[in-house]
Structure 1
Amino acid sequence: MTLFKRLTPVVLAVLAIAGPALALDINVTSFKLDNGMQVVVIPDHRAPVVTHMVWYKTGAADEEQGKAGVAHLLEHLMFKGTPKHPDGAFSRIVRANGGDENAFTTQDYTAYYQKVMKDRLPLVMELEADRMQNLELTDETVLPERSVVLEERRQRTDNEPGGLLNEQMDAAMYTAHPYGKPVIGWMSQVSKLTRQDAMDFYAAHYEPENAILIVAGDVTPEEVKTLAERYYGPLKNKRPTQERVRAEEPQPNAERRITMSDQRVSSPNWQRQYLTPSARQLPQREELAMSLLAEIVGGSSQSRFYQTLNLDKKLAASSGAWFDSDQLDYGTFGVYASPNPGVTIDQVEMEVDAIIADVVAKGVTQEELDRSRNSMIASAVYLLDSQDKLARMFGVSLATGQTIDDVLNWDRDLGTVTVDDINKAARTILDRKASVTGVLLPEEKSQ
């Protein structure tokens, strides 16, 4: 199992705009089973392979107070077994049939996937449908897996200064909303999670009506519908799907700053994140304007950051910008830079602030817009030329309140974005009062 990590700026941009569905001439079919489970079919007949994914519209932000990390722990425990397939048989069966499988958890969704030959699709549907309602857990299976998650946290966060800084920046950004706690959970709370905690979360959220089935590959909609009705159709919703009620983040009125020093850090790093609306709260044209703004500011070697910080003034060894709107409640616009040897954090930050101030005051150019738009389209075509990425693209969008039309109409909407749209986005979101700045420094060694 893997914790779904924050994606790279280019991938985030591509996922946000959901690019090449039309460029690759893909027909997407969607329907619902009688139990409310949504099914999406993405035919791709280039090879006799299918990617089968089940997305649950629940994640870390849906956990009860004091149970941080239970969504991710349950993701691990879903592989432990049912009465029909006990003791980790799920993974053994998939591997024995030449398949690949895994899962990931975020704040808003948990997804499970298998990539198999086409004739094994009924098998993985049967396995996934079985564990949707028949998970069986004991302390003997839960407690060792909880230890695995604790070790995962040590390796991925506690032993990574950059991970610790990002965790603290999220906690500073969200003073009320649950996005302020990490997906993997706080060590103090994960260590106390029990079998009953996991089963309670499972019972509350793992229902057909709260799930999305996505099948991409060498299939037809008719084939998938027949199989879905056979394996998922008989499942009943045992309780009404819970409304996702989350605390609203109060309007920020002061910028925040986190400074960390760590002896494991070899070179300093600077970053800033701005709180923004999420994709589902914005007209797609406005969301795309923010994605293009990130591309113009720091998305490529032609960006303002790279040209000024890296080339002209040689202040930064690396720099960039990104926009992540694929969350249910809030998005994030981020900028970052690592100074060259002999350059201070203050020098880099002053130059970053000057570039951002220039963008806000004077705006971007038509040439920058055209170049960035073409770059995003080209990146999307290459990155999404796989059934796995197509399945994930639609899964992320649907699990965070967006629609299939939002995905398929990206190129039309991208083409309508103007310089004025981007300039308005810059004035709207690049507000220091809605930002958190993070500084990571090498720890000074004592004499």
Structure 2
Amino acid sequence: MNRALKGLFAVIIMIAACSLAYGSVFDFSRLQKSIVEKTLPNGLKIIVLPRHEVPVVSMVTWADVGGSDDPKGYTGMAHMFEHMAFKGTDEIGTTDPAKEVLLMAKEDAIFEQLRLERLKGDKGDKRKLERLEKDFEKAIADAYALIVPNAFSNKLENEGAEGLNAFTSKDQTAYMVSLPSNKFELWMALESERFLRPRLREMYREREVVAEERRMTVENRPMSRLLEEFLSTAFKAHPYGIPLIGHSSDIQNYSRSAAKDFFDKYYGPNNLTLAIVGDVKPEKVFELAEKYWARVPSKYKPERVATVEPTQICERTVIMPDKAQPIILMGWHIPDETHKDMPALSALSSILGSGRTSRLYRRMVRDDKAAVSVSAFSGWPGSKYPCLSVVFCYPAQGKSASECDKIILEEIEKIKNASVTPEELERVKTGTMTGLIAGLKNNMGLAQNLAQYNQIWGDWRALFGELDRINAVTCDDIQRVAKKYFVKTGRTLAVLETAQESEK
């Protein structure tokens, strides 16, 4: 597709968003009744919402696997596989499929020798190590010579794809794109092919890309390093405490066989959901799903993470000296997203630190000038398993972390002792409704919401119960959960102090 047509398609997407965003009254029941679902014999779940305003369709492939599922010794593998999923298939992405198989096998064999020699540490044979390093670099270069870079992505982008992307979180991995509706079958064919016959080419070069990503986004950013320390302190047992991008040593240890094992375990059709919203007919979607996805064999459904974080018995504190701006971060353990207390906990976080009308913003930023920013949120770093409710703050110049900590705890105690006002709770309910409607009116946002609720709740219909759950929350509920969960022994505190302050 030429630039003019791609530009036109981008305009169509914007028109679609605007036409949906400014409807008069949003009809939740009508929307829910328009959604159709089907599960193929191999376990693949397909959720379809037809919207024919413009000839555009948005698609999400949602995998029930995230960083919390990373194998031991291969932290960050969920994120790494997200990268590898764009490397093509047996046929797409190479000039010589048969020769590539042989060259990739040579890469793998040399890396295994290299890995074993590295494990010997100081006892390893240095000459052998040097020889293997050179052989490995040559094997990588030989295999790369056959690669057609970005071949998979280009097949979609050349047909007008917009928003071709993916993300990995602690709980899930998602792949998304919007296309002209007359290119929907192309997406079905390509998407099924990459999860039927992925070719994990460029494995070892991409590993270096991820290693550099870790250096740039974590090791060179004080805030990211503080977050890693905070999570590893808050979660002593559960994998929510492990870095999503992985530990550096594990990244360097990634092998193609480990990535293939990960794919085989977590990327079966019975662990995937397709959510499709836009200008399509459900019967045609299901027909194409049968054509392209039914050939993907079912696999054993992976078990959930069995490890349960033990009850925290004392307050935990992390102090990290750095030259950067001071930061204070604290969190309390709370249940998973489906727990009956989560709506009240979400409302509590909103009242504490969501926006300029929140209690912490008004006192700390507007009135006391103790902070330049403050926020609170629940359900982090994931919500499939018991997680954290968090408060995050940048102290103002001349103000200490301890001063900010004192104010935050005072405001929480006020809620424990006197609850919140009906007006505050009503603002939360109104804001929740506004946010929900905004998400439902955007095709891609709705597709992601449907897939996520289907994964976490086991039924996409739970999305349409969100307003009922938040509307059922009372002021007494908020006071009750504040007393129950925001306790001293359950708190983890992380502080980034400027080097000068920490040296005093």
Q: TM-score, normalised by structure 1?
A: 0.89
Structure-2 residue corresponding to 1:323: 378
Long gaps (5+) in structure 2: 1-25, 95-149
Specify the code of the residue in structure 1 equivalent to 2:161.
Answer: G
Q: Distance in 1 between matches of 2:313 and 2:490?
A: 7
2:191 matched to 1:128?
A: yes
Specify the code of the residue in structure 2 equivalent to 1:105.
Answer: T
User: How has the CA–CA distance of structure 1 residues 310 and 385 changed in structure 2, closer, same or farther, with 3 Å as cutoff?
Assistant: same
Report the 3-state secondary structure (helix = DSSP H, G, I; strand = E; otherwise coil) of the residue aligned with 1:182. Answer: coil
Q: Per-residue deviation at 1:379? A: 3.0
Which residue, 328, 334, 350 being the options, matches 1:276?
A: 334
Structure-2 residue corresponding to 1:257: 317
Greater C-alpha Rg: 2
Could you give the per-residue CA deviations for residues 301-340 of structure 1, whole angstroms, max 9, x where no partner exists? 1111112112222211111211126521122211122222
The 5 Å alignment of 1:38-437 reads: 38-87=45-94, 88-100=150-162, 101-138=164-201, 141-237=202-298, 239-263=299-323, 265=324, 267-280=325-338, 282-283=339-340, 286-324=341-379, 327-437=383-493
Report the 3-state secondary structure (helix = DSSP H, G, I; strand = E; otherwise coil) of the residue aligned with 1:107. Answer: coil
Report the 3-state secondary structure (helix = DSSP H, G, I; strand = E; otherwise coil) of the residue aligned with 1:75. Answer: helix
Which residue, 24, 36, 39 being the options, matches 1:29?
A: 36
Specify the code of the residue in structure 2 equivalent to 1:249.
Answer: E
Structure-1 residue corresponding to 2:496: 440
User: How has the CA–CA distance of structure 1 residues 302 and 166 changed in structure 2, closer, same or farther, with 3 Å as cutoff?
Assistant: same
Long gaps (5+) in structure 1: 1-19
Identical pairs, percent: 30
Q: Distance in 2 between matches of 1:269 and 1:71?
A: 29
Q: Per-residue deviation at 1:78? A: 1.3
Q: Per-residue deviation at 1:206? A: 1.1
Bigger fraction of residues in helix: 2
After TM superposition, the structure 1 stretch with the greater mean CA deviation from structure 2, 101-110 or 165-174, is 101-110
Q: Distance in 2 between matches of 1:420 and 1:31?
A: 41
Report the 3-state secondary structure (helix = DSSP H, G, I; strand = E; otherwise coil) of the residue aligned with 1:333. Answer: strand
Specify the code of the residue in structure 1 equivalent to 2:196.
Answer: Q
- How many pairs align? 420
Q: Distance in 2 between matches of 1:318 and 1:116?
A: 39
Specify the code of the residue in structure 2 equivalent to 1:76.
Answer: H
RMSD of aligned C-alpha atoms?
2.0
Q: Distance in 1 between matches of 2:477 and 2:284?
A: 43
User: How has the CA–CA distance of structure 1 residues 442 and 384 changed in structure 2, closer, same or farther, with 3 Å as cutoff?
Assistant: farther
Report the 3-state secondary structure (helix = DSSP H, G, I; strand = E; otherwise coil) of the residue aligned with 1:444. Answer: helix
Mapped contact 2:38–2:46 kept (Cα < 8 A): yes
User: How has the CA–CA distance of structure 1 residues 151 and 420 changed in structure 2, closer, same or farther, with 3 Å as cutoff?
Assistant: same
Specify the code of the residue in structure 1 equivalent to 2:401.
Answer: I
Q: Distance in 2 between matches of 1:136 and 1:198?
A: 11
User: How has the CA–CA distance of structure 1 residues 23 and 437 changed in structure 2, closer, same or farther, with 3 Å as cutoff?
Assistant: farther
Q: Distance in 1 between matches of 2:237 and 2:453?
A: 25
Report the 3-state secondary structure (helix = DSSP H, G, I; strand = E; otherwise coil) of the residue aligned with 1:272. Answer: strand
Q: Distance in 2 between matches of 1:272 and 1:146?
A: 33
Specify the code of the residue in structure 2 equivalent to 1:207.
Answer: G
Q: Per-residue deviation at 1:299? A: 1.0
Q: Per-residue deviation at 1:24? A: 8.3
Q: Distance in 2 between matches of 1:193 and 1:428?
A: 42
Q: Distance in 2 between matches of 1:79 and 1:435?
A: 40
After TM superposition, the structure 1 stretch with the greater mean CA deviation from structure 2, 64-73 or 413-422, is 413-422
Mapped contact 1:52–1:121 kept (Cα < 8 A): no
> Greater RCO between the two (CA within 8 Å, min separation 6)?
1
Q: TM-score, normalised by structure 2?
A: 0.80
